[in-house]
Structure 1
Amino acid sequence: MKLPHHPSTTIFSFIFIFLLPSSISSQTCQRSCGKLPLKFPFGSDLGCGDPRFHQHVSCSQGNLLLTMHTGSYPVTNIDYINKVMYISDPSMSTCSCTQPSKGFGLDWDSPFSFQDDNIFALLDCSTSSSPIFQSSTLYTDKNNNSKVSLCDNQGTSICSFLYSCRAISTINLPISTCCVYTPVDLGPAFEMDLQKLHCSSYSGFYSFNERQSDPNSWKYGIALKYKFSVNNEYPSSCANCEMSNGICGYFSGGAYNSFLCNCPNGINTTNDCYFGANYNYGSRLSSWQIGTWLFYCLACLLISVW
């Protein structure tokens, strides 16, 4: 016997199909990349961390890499308290290795700038054609409000220590071709272009490691400051997410910078992971999903009564 068809049944069926909660699936953001812990604003993959940083910092086969227009550089450490990232440049000369390099530069739109502790020493520069040795040569800083000399006359001792390294001394480079680069905060509008400066290589370090006269002990690499935003304030939504054991991320397929909290079970929410113990086949439901299911149950009850 065929039951009579009621228009209300069609309406409620449509509502059910339209509002049926789909699973909010998401890949699980990792808390580390190799041996380095990952915290906001850095993330392991697309949708993790801050989208402004994802295009420059990525995790590849257990290695965290910083990518700029001048190349890709391994990240050696991250100081989350002081907001400083430390990288190494494979083309950089150190006390144990001297090799040619094109230099290093930051993308103009990157959220990074140079830490003041950086010291750059340009090596094997042409004393006749390199502009750094011209006393009249000045450069304009990134804010176009001051000019300073490119070469630090007080850096002679640093050059002396570097040129005492076996890797440099064996190729008989004269110390007169070394120059300590004064403007450590090159900024996103300026970069160290060794070809334009007529230098074949450079050495960079961010600490003497309390042994200034021993270049073998210096901490070679580049220290970069990073900022969350203009005010450099830690996002409160991210702090709440992390307190609930979540990982801060963003919705890569939607509006730019739309915040998401990635929870341990792989579910994304728009706030935090404190949304009850309701499960759907092992996955927690968000508040809007619970409301939708309640609406559906009410609709079913009305249909049965009808």
Structure 2
Amino acid sequence: MQTSKKLNFLHFLLSLMLFFTTSTAQHTRPNHCGNIKLQTPFLSQNSSISSLLTRMIKCKSQKLYFRTSIGLFPISSIDYTSKTLTISHPSCSSSQQYVSPALLSAGFPSPPLPNSLLLFNCSSKRHPKSSLIHNCTRLHICGAAFEVQEPEIKVPYSCLLVQDIEKLDTNFHPNDLSCSDYRRVYRRSLSEEDYEGVELGTRISFDIPDHVPDICNECKKPNGNCGVGLKCICHAKECKDKVISAARSLSTGISFLFPLFSIIVLMNFGII
């Protein structure tokens, strides 16, 4: 009698697991990672370029990331017409945690419109290429950054805009201008007066012609322009799958926890 109850309970658990697995599969859309559609060249094909670019992204817990040798950066969208993907930058970041957009895009073709940089609470504007850095007093995306300043302290340059980050040295850092915060943005317009013409994030171009014999040649040169993304593509073992984001992305782990819970229950009932 006791054995029969245990077998019935085991059958119930197995049926429940099968139902859960089937329901989860029905809600998973093929060739999608969350709300982002995946298609050529990010799907495995015979093309050597496609096989390399599949390493460029990673789907983790239904969130899509740009893979680099320093970690994973969240992707907000992919534009297959312009062949660009956008790495999101949802909030102001301290200059101590600066990640250069030039480093992220180094080695890839230039995007249709340049990646830019917003710098906040800067006390200096002296730089060898200061002509590339403009005031943007009408743009206050990082308004919260100003609230921490003491009333009697005046910041000479509350907002600075680097129009095209590729024109600066790759080793440029906000600390060079004594800035407290920064935001990566890309241009919607090339007009210097259009300070509102920016979108948050960094654009990476994957418009790599099929006739390129080896896009990893740059990584082999002594002074090759091999950024953290291209380096990860060409040397997959150097990829680090730690999420780089203000808000941590945690895996739900449901598919793992449910079978584990079932095994524990079965052990308690003496079935296994």
Which structure has the larger Rg over C-alpha atoms? 1
* Structure whose residues are more often strand by fraction: 1
- Give the structure-2-normalised TM-score: 0.49
Higher relative contact order (CA 8 A, sep 6+): 2
- The structure that is helix-richer by fraction is 2
Could you state the TM-score of these two structures normalised by the residue count of structure 1?
A: 0.45
